[in-house]
Amino acid sequence: MTLLQTATAPGADSPADAVAPTDENCQTTSLIVRRASHEALRRSSPVLPPGLNAPRCAGNRRSDDQKDRTPPADIKCAEGVVFDLGDVLFDATVWRRWLLRLLRHFGVQAPYHSLFRRWETEYLADVYCGTRDYDHAFFGFLSSLGLRQGQIAEIAVASQARHREFNLQSRPYPGVVTTLRELKRLGYRLAVLTNSTRCGSDLHMALEQLGLGNLFDAVVTSIDLGMLASCHDAYQAIHDRLQLRVGKALFVGHDRTELASAAQFGMPTMAFNYEDATPADVHIEQFDEMVALMTSMGHARAA
């Protein structure tokens, strides 16, 4: 497995949401108000399963007057930052766009969203939770598209080669490394919480290939937890790893469902590489905007 194959993608590789009950004892009035706001936003627009957003074009970006430039107090008071991985720290849509082109060569004409919604919800979610083998799921997915066994075998072989190639070519988004280093210097506790077919220790080593391995205090995946990363118990687990109270860790993601789930759990949220109608406390267009927003009132954690 490669990093690109197994990491969650901002808009590409996260599975369907499975939300566990929120601990009512952790709720405060401000959290209830914010959750209600997020729920209203979520219901007002169609919600795709996490990670099924097609690569965003310039036309989908929020205009300057729509951007949230004043961070809420709970973001300024954050002591840690929890990142989704794919399409937040690096582009994880490359393999899917390649696969879409290949499938069209074999006569599969399904649109991007519906095709990968099916992949996520019916096949990949079980892989992320450790209850299904990746190859078995991938073969089942291709078979469901009406492809013949010879075609499936050809696609599978080509897919493995492409994963290796894309993994070697993968690079962090502009501003990611410098931003993470600055957050670390300021004393923030940093973590990755993501859906993956690999355990956190393996993924941590893969992050070293991107020059990010030494910047995170914790890397936790769905495989480690036996549940999707968007479950409330997963959010609790990452707070425990960082030794932070609920509400003291900011969640940075791209997927509207995962951001809404994090907010419902009680985390302040920041959206990057997002689609329209994605609910979050703050939306950023460039990754390096994060530090200025979080320190806009002179707030920084003691290193």
In this structure, the dihedral spanned by the alpha carbons of residues 105, 107, 109 and 114, taken in order and rounded to 10 degrees, is -90
CB neighbourhood size of 60 (10 A)? 13
Pairwise CA distance, residues 152 & 136, whole Å: 12
Low-confidence ranges of the chain (pLDDT < 50): 1-66, 297-300, 302-303
At CA 286, angle to CA 169 and CA 302, rounded to 5? 100
Residue 68 near residue 276, CB atoms below 8 Å: no
Distance CA 267, CA 252 (A): 10
Taking the model in full, what pTM does it have? 0.76
**Nearest 10 degrees: CA dihedral of 272, 274, 280, 285?**
40
Q: For residue 139, give the amino acid letter.
A: F
Contact 196, 128 (CB under 8 A): yes
pLDDT tens-digit readout, 34-77: 443 334 333 333 333 333 333 332 233 444 444 555 667 678 88
